């Protein structure tokens, strides 16, 4: 059962780090966009468009981390081998 506990820990820590990183990245992107609009209100349309594309790219990292965590939890390819080793 220790293998499954480590899988749960790895998935949880991975999601935590991935969410932390994307949160920091999105916060910095929005901060920079607000500063850019404050300096040049006429360019707000271009800044908003670029910011939205950037936020989508940053958010994709969190989605990839989530997919990997779900694979570790539910579709782990080593589950059968570990169960056989534990049965011995």
Q: Domains of the chain, with CATH numbers?
A: 1-83 (1.20.20.10)
Of 49 and 7, the one with more pLDDT: 49
- Contact criterion met (CB below 8 Å) for 23 and 59: no
pLDDT over 70 at 76, yes or no? yes
Give the pLDDT mean for 26-51.
Answer: 94
Burial of 69 (0-12, 13-18, 19+ CB in 10 A): buried
User: What is the C-alpha separation between 20 and 27, in angstroms, rounded?
Assistant: 11
Q: Is the pLDDT of residue 25 over 70?
A: yes
Quote the mean pLDDT of the chain: 89
Across the range 35-59, mean pLDDT stands at 93
Query: What percent of the chain is predicted at pLDDT more than 70?
Result: 99
Residue 33, pLDDT above cutoff 80: yes
* Local structure of residue 24 (DSSP, 8 states): H
């Amino acid at each position: 059962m220790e293998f499954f506990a480590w899988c749960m820990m790895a998935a949880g820590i991975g999601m935590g780090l991935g969410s932390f990183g994307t949160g920091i990245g999105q916060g910095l992107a929005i901060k920079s966009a607000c500063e850019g609009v404050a300096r040049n209100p006429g360019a707000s349309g271009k800044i908003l468009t670029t910011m939205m594309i950037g936020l989508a790219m940053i958010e994709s990292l969190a989605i990839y981390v989530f997919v990997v965590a779900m694979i570790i939890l539910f579709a782990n390819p080593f589950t059968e081998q570990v169960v056989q080793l534990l049965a011995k």
